[in-house]
Amino acid sequence: MGGGRPYPPELPRESSEYVVEFDGPHDPTHPQNWPVSTKITIMAILTSTTFVTTFASGIYAPAIQTIAKDYDVAPEVATLGVTLYVLGFSFGPILWGPLSEVKGRRLPLVVAAFGTAIFHFATAVSKDLQSILINRFFAGFFGTSPLAVGGGVFVDLFDNKMRGNAVTIFSLSVFIGPMVAPFIGGFIVTSHLGWRWTMYLSGILASAAAVATFFFLYETYAPVILVNKASKLRQATKNWAIHAKLEENEVDMRAIIERNLTRPLHMLIVEPIILLMSIYAAFIYGLLYLFLTAYPKIFQGVYGMRPGVSGLPELGAVLGCAITGFIMIVFRQKSYVKKLKAHNNVPVPEWRMIEAMYGSVLFAGGLFWLGWSGYRREVHWIVPTIGGVATGHGISMVFLQTFNYLIDSYLMLAASAIAANTFMRSLFGAIFPLFASYMFDKMEIEWAMTLLGCFAALLIPVPIVFYFKGAQIRRISRYAPKPAA
Angle at 431 between CA 49 and CA 124, to 5 degrees: 50
What is the pLDDT averaged over residues 4-23?
Answer: 55
Q: Residue 4: inside a domain, yes or no?
A: no
Residue 267 CA to residue 273 CA, distance in Å, equals: 9
Domain extent, residue 403, equals 16-475
Q: Residue 68: inside a domain, yes or no?
A: yes
Residues 35-43: contacts with CB under 8 Å, at least 24 apart: 38/218, 39/157, 39/158, 39/166, 41/216, 42/153, 42/157, 42/216, 42/217, 42/218, 42/220, 43/154, 43/157, 43/166, 43/169, 43/170
Residue 182 CA to residue 190 CA, distance in Å, equals: 12
Model confidence band, residue 252 (pLDDT cutoffs 50, 70, 90): low
C-alpha closest to that of 360 among 322, 316, 400? 400
Q: CB-based burial of residue 208 (10 Å sphere; 0-12 exposed, 13-18 middle, 19+ buried)?
A: middle
Residue 105 has phi, psi (to 5 degrees) of -80, -35
Model confidence band, residue 14 (pLDDT cutoffs 50, 70, 90): very low
What is the pLDDT averaged over residues 237-261?
Answer: 71
Residue 332 has phi, psi (to 5 degrees) of -70, -35
Q: Residue 5: inside a domain, yes or no?
A: no
> What pLDDT sits at residue 195?
93
Candidate ranges 6-15, 140-149, 260-269; pick with highest mean pLDDT: 140-149
Q: Residue 65: inside a domain, yes or no?
A: yes
Summarised one tens digit per residue, pLDDT across range 424-438 is 888 898 899 888 888
- Find the range with the poorest average confidence among 24-38, 402-416, 427-441: 402-416
Q: 19 forms bridges with which residues in the sheet?
A: 243
Summarised one tens digit per residue, pLDDT across range 366-395 is 999 999 998 889 999 999 999 999 999 999
Residue 389 CA to residue 370 CA, distance in Å, equals: 9
Model confidence band, residue 164 (pLDDT cutoffs 50, 70, 90): confident
Inter-residue contact 109 to 42 (CB < 8 Å) = no
Q: Residue 257: inside a domain, yes or no?
A: yes
13 CB-near residues (< 8 Å, 6+ apart):
7
What is the pLDDT averaged over residues 149-160?
Answer: 87
Q: How many domains does the chain have?
A: 1
Q: For position 65, which CATH number holds? A: 1.20.1250.20
Q: Residue 22: inside a domain, yes or no?
A: yes
- 459 pLDDT above the threshold of 90: yes
Summarised one tens digit per residue, pLDDT across range 80-91 is 999 999 999 888
Residue 292 CA to residue 437 CA, distance in Å, equals: 10
> What pLDDT sits at residue 11?
32
Q: Residue 47: inside a domain, yes or no?
A: yes
- 334 pLDDT above the threshold of 90: no
As a whole number, the mean pLDDT across the chain is 87
Inter-residue contact 325 to 169 (CB < 8 Å) = yes
> What pLDDT sits at residue 257?
61
Q: Residue 280: inside a domain, yes or no?
A: yes
Of 188 and 240, more confident: 188
